[in-house]
Chains A and B, each alone.
Chain A
Amino acid sequence: MLSEQMQREALSKCIVWFYDGNVRTFYSLDKTHKRAKPNQALGIRRLEKMLMETFKGQWETAIIYENKANGNELARFKRGARV
């Protein structure tokens, strides 16, 4: 679980709808180290890895958005595949 500050600083977030009915929001970790420049692509890749490996087979839909008000949709996943 990321701290509130890190959640605020994250460039993207992922909303996951699990098969068991839960809905959770995950925030991206966009830096390779504390002082690195944030890399949004890296954050997205990490979220994708989380979906495909950590929560494999547990979710039905997942959507990655920009972490800001009215942020655009960046990626969409359905039943284990990116669409």
Chain B
Amino acid sequence: MEKTANQRLYFDFGEVFQNTKSFIDRHNSRQTQLPQKLNANHRATAELIIRLYLKQLNKAAQLDQLDPENLPGFNTYNESLAKCKGCTKRTIINHRERLVNAGFIRKEQHCGQGGVEIWINPEVMGTVKLSTSYGDNVIKIGQLASLFLDKAKNFHPLVHEQHEQKNNNSKVDNVDNVIKGVPYGHESGKATGTSHEQDKNTEENANPASKRQEKAPEKLCEAEKQEQKPGAGRIFLLSLIRQFWAYARKVLYPDLVLSEPEEREILNLIWESVYGKLHWQASEKDWLNYQETAYNRVNMVARWLARSPGHWIPKPHIYFHPNNERNGFKKTWQWYVRQETLKIGIRNQLLLQQVKAEWQQHKQDKGRFQQKTRLQLFRIQQKRLANYRDESLMRAYQQCLQRCLHLEKLKCKQANHA
């Protein structure tokens, strides 16, 4: 299946449901013994899984390019599915087992506290359609930056969707091996990552091996492995985090005195909340661009603080906490997007004004393009505006041009009538 820059995967619910139905019917027709057939209850579980999975995939497809041949798995929890379906956990486990035997579920991966990841049979997923929806301004502002939106990486939970809550443990689109944690002493050349994730509630590592990792971090060479992968080196990325914290501390918390463990904790929080756990495999240039946006956000906060004595920000361990939705640093992303959108809007208006003025001058045989033909002027302007790589600007330019020409025609007609 081909994909273009603006074409994104879209899974049609109706089609996949039809595929599900025909798959189960076909399976049942092949089975002779009742215990091996899938009854209406199993069918309902399969449809529930499909519904939640498609919802997540379509949302993911809008935000990121998905490979149709290598779709991410469906990360879920037995408890949550059971709650959705109104049955017990055991029933869901039994149904899943039956679906695996039937070949509906291709593969299962148990992730302990992280739930279970399920890969559905590609036959059921069927063909994929392409939609041509444009991304929002966030994506226009920066591909990398858009990742750190809530919606970008940690997708809303499939199974908690009906409660309107967030599942921070969702792993869809995060299937790559990622290294987590900011090793504190990497400056001394011992860059080591803790390849585990902190539990949101307990701040405890789900992975029992984490204790071993903490005791002997020098034995790990995760950072070195990461460096062999394409994209920015881990040490480089960690230095970005340190630089960001140094800058934020200087600007926002100039009088703060912190001990080593406290600073380490804050770095980990920044790694998680500001840098999205370094999940994105981007080039160094992209990361540097993102770093600039992060600095801009810090500057915005500093300006906001200076504007009124009533403005305040909490202590860094609260301010940079990934779960702080109320007064955390995360919120500044919205400020930044708004500011950049406004900037782009104003820039486009100025460019269009300039274009208009050039056309008017050209009509009056004035200005620097007076020697050019209309086509040449059009080409020059088109080339100039194309440099901005903004489709909305080009569309506005075309409209502006049509309006100019239309007005010109009207004037000609009026002159003829007169």
Q: Name B259's contact: one of A36, A37, A75 (CB within 8 Å).
A: A75
* Neighbour of B257 across the interface among A39, A40, A75, CB < 8 A: A75
Contact present for A45 and B317 (CB under 8 Å):
yes
Q: Are B259 and A64 in contact (CB under 8 A)?
A: yes
CA–CA, A9 and B257, complex, Å = 26
Q: Mark A49-83, 1 if CB is under 8 A from B, else 0.
A: 00000000000000010000000001100000011
Measured CA separation A11–B265 after assembly (Å): 15
Residue B33, interface by CB 8 Å? no
Q: For B203, what are the chain A residues with a Cβ–Cβ distance below 8 Å?
A: 32, 36-37, 39
Contacts of A12 in B (CB 8 A): 261
Which residues from chain B contact A44 at a C-beta distance below 8 Å?
259, 261-262
Which of B198, B203, B264, B317 has most chain A Cβ within 10 Å? B203
**Complex: A33 Cα to B204 Cα, angstroms:** 10
Q: Which of A35, A40, A82 contacts B202 (CB 8 A)?
A: A35
Chain B residues 160 to 217 lying within 8 A of chain A, measured CB to CB, are 198, 202-205, 210
Closest to B205 in A: A37
Contact check, A83 vs B257: say whether CB atoms are below 8 A apart.
yes
CB-nearest residue of chain A relative to B256? A82
Is the pair A32, B202 in contact by a Cβ cutoff of 8 Å? yes
Partner of B260, one of A39, A45, A74, A82: A74
Contacts of A39 in B (CB 8 A): 203, 265
B266 nearest CB neighbor, chain A only: A41
Alpha-carbon distance between A46 and B317 when the two chains are bound, in angstroms = 13
Closest B residue to A40 using CB positions:
B261
Cα A39 to Cα B264 with chains together (Å): 11
Residues in A whose Cβ lies below 8 Å from that of B265: 39, 41
**A41-B257 contact, Cβ under 8 Å, with A32-B203, A33-B202:** no
The answer to whether B317 and A37 touch across the interface, beta carbons within 8 angstroms, is: no
Q: Which size bracket describes the interface of B in this complex?
A: 10 to 19
Q: Are A74 and B261 in contact (CB under 8 A)?
A: yes
Of all chain A residues, which has the CB nearest B315?
A: A45
Measured in the bound complex, the distance between the Cα atoms of B248 and A15 in whole Å is 32
CB-nearest residue of chain B to A30: B261
- B256-302 interface (Cβ within 8 A of A): 257, 259-262, 264-265
Pick from B202, B257, B262, B264: contact of A37, CB under 8 Å: B202
Contact among A32, A33, A41, A75 with B264 in the assembled complex (CB-CB below 8 Å): A41
* B202 CB contacts on chain A under 8 angstroms: 32-33, 35-37
- Cα A41 to Cα B260 in complex, Å, equals 9
* B205 near A41: Cβ-Cβ < 8 Å: no
CB pair B204–A41 under 8 Å, yes or no, is no
Q: Are B261 and A82 in contact (CB under 8 A)?
A: no
In the bound complex, CA of A44 to CA of B262 (Å): 8
Partner of B261, one of A35, A41, A83: A41
Shortest Cβ gap from B273 to chain A (Å)? 16
Choose among B210, B257, B264 the residue with the greatest number of A CB atoms under 10 Å from its CB. Answer: B257
Query: In the complex, what's the smallest C-beta–C-beta distance from A50 to chain B, in angstroms?
Result: 15
> Contacting B204 at CB < 8 Å: which of A36, A40, A82?
A36
State the CA gap A25–B265 with chains docked (Å): 25
The chain A residue sitting closest to B210, CB to CB, is: A37
Q: Which residues of chain B are within 8 angstroms of A75 by Cβ–Cβ distance? A: 257, 259
A33 to B203, CA, bound (A): 10
A42 to chain B, nearest CB (A): 8
A41 to B261, alpha carbons, bound, how many Å? 5
In the assembled complex, how far is the CB of residue A25 from the closest CB belonging to chain B, in whole angstroms? 18
Could you tell me the distance between the alpha carbons of A45 and B198 in the complex, rounded to whole angstroms? 20
> How distant is the Cα of A44 from the Cα of B263 in the complex, in angstroms?
12
Chain B residues with Cβ below 8 Å from A32 are 202-203
Which residues of B are in contact with A by a Cβ distance under 8 Å? 198, 202-205, 210, 257, 259-262, 264-265, 317
- Please give 5 more A-B residue pairs, beta carbons under 8 A apart, in addition to A44-B262, A74-B259: A11-B261, A32-B203, A33-B202, A37-B205, A41-B262
